[in-house]
Structure 1
Amino acid sequence: MHFSYGGGMNYGLPVPYTTQITPSLSNGAQIHISGTPTGSRFEINLKSYQNDVVLHVNPRFDDGAIILNNAPQGNWGTEERHALPFHRGARFTMVILATDRSFKIAVNNGHVCEFYHRSPMHLAQQVEIKGDVTLESVQVYPGTGPMGFPPMGGDMAFAPPSFPSAFGGNPGFCPPPPSAQSAFGGGMGYCPPPPSSQSTFGGFTPGFGSPSAPPSMPTTGIPSIQSCRINTGSRIFVQGFIPVGANRFELNLLQGYSDGDDIA
């Protein structure tokens, strides 16, 4: 199981900030970024360890536009310009949705632009954010393709919920409240549970919480223990699978770090 946990929204991250993309991007993968622009421009790069930029997102307040581009082997391609959806000093939540054909970008629950792949998306190994921005949180949610988590088939059985995903069309791993509106035009996506009843992202606010750790593969029958600090308003998100023939499982909040400790 993969646990992601956190409390409020005051997770100040250092800028420049870099986090790994594990596993590789595949169809349905999402990157959630929350922060506040503070100056003229900032940028978000999905890139390889060799600095090949698969996707470059560059909001420019001094230019009144958001620029999309790529840079294989450091050679910049042709810029694509779109209307600027950000306001200096105003908090934003951005979602980058990876599909087989393109990256779809939404800001504050509104679809903003689309960047058709010029390089294979699985080459992106890092998320890099730098420039004039105060960064709250960055979370990477895996997709559903052969390079992504979870694997479908084998001895694992997964029955998705019967109600729609936040991204329309097919259901995702965790559905939002029924009132949540899609930020994109369709396709499968992962959407985390609603952190609170009040939000600015169409009924839920994805991406809040501590920066994501690489997901671990399921281990059937073996207890998984992960430390966390729980405060007022904390949320615990659990993602996992029920193997064929399973009878039961349990989730315990322990007052310690071993399986035999007291259960809170």
Structure 2
Amino acid sequence: MKNMELKAGDKLKIKGMVLDDADGFQIDLGCDKEDLALHFNPRFNDDLDGTVFVCNSKTAGCWGDEKRELNLTLQKGAEVKIVVTFSGHMFEVELPDEQEVHFPNREDMDLLNYLRIRGDFKLTSFKIC
């Protein structure tokens, strides 16, 4: 989705289902596909760590350093609600069972107008509030 407006203080609420045979999915927020403030990527079969959340940013098509955390909450075949809060300097991703992932706004983007959700996830609704 292009031309949306997510600014500091806003929340993005995403509901959907992780597919039964999921390898992973991603939620990207930024200016476009080459400039991402947040790349949130749950992986269920990661070669290094098994089931993890990978967060990253991308500037002019170049990835930054990955931040990895163990996935303690998302499961294949589960309906989930994910809330991304954008505070300006930080993203807070709220997951089921009160797990949270924090990731800095490395490029200090103040207005995010690009959202992409893809992979093994069936989106049922999303809302900016």
Q: TM-score range by the shorter chain?
A: 0.7 to 0.9
Q: TM-score, normalised by structure 2?
A: 0.86
Aligned partner of residue 40 in structure 2, secondary structure: strand
Q: Which residue of 1 aligns with 2:10?
A: 29
Bigger share in strand: 2
Aligned partner of residue 107 in structure 2, secondary structure: coil
Q: What is the percent sequence identity of the aligned residues?
A: 27
Counterparts of residues 1-264 of structure 1 (less than 5 Å): 18=1, 20-22=3-5, 24-26=6-8, 28-38=9-19, 39-49=22-32, 51-63=34-46, 64-84=51-71, 85-108=73-96, 110-141=98-129
Aligned partner of residue 120 in structure 2, secondary structure: strand
Whether the aligned pair in 1 keeps the contact of 2:88 and 2:110 (CA below 8 Å) is no
| Distance change >3 Å, CA 116–CA 137, structure 1 → 2 | same
Larger Rg: 1 or 2?
1
- Number of corresponding residues: 122
Shift in Å, 1:105: 0.8
Shift in Å, 1:51: 2.9
- What runs of 5+ residues in structure 1 fail to find an aligned partner? 1-17, 142-264
What code does the residue aligned with 2:24 have? Answer: R
Shift in Å, 1:77: 0.4
Q: What CA deviation, in whole Å up to 9, does each residue of 1:87-115 have, x standing for no partner?
A: 00001000001113310110126142100
Structure with the bigger RCO (C-alpha within 8 Å, sep 6+) is 2
Aligned partner of residue 89 in structure 1, secondary structure: coil
Structure 1 consecutive aligned stretches of length 4 or more whose deviation exceeds 3 Å: none
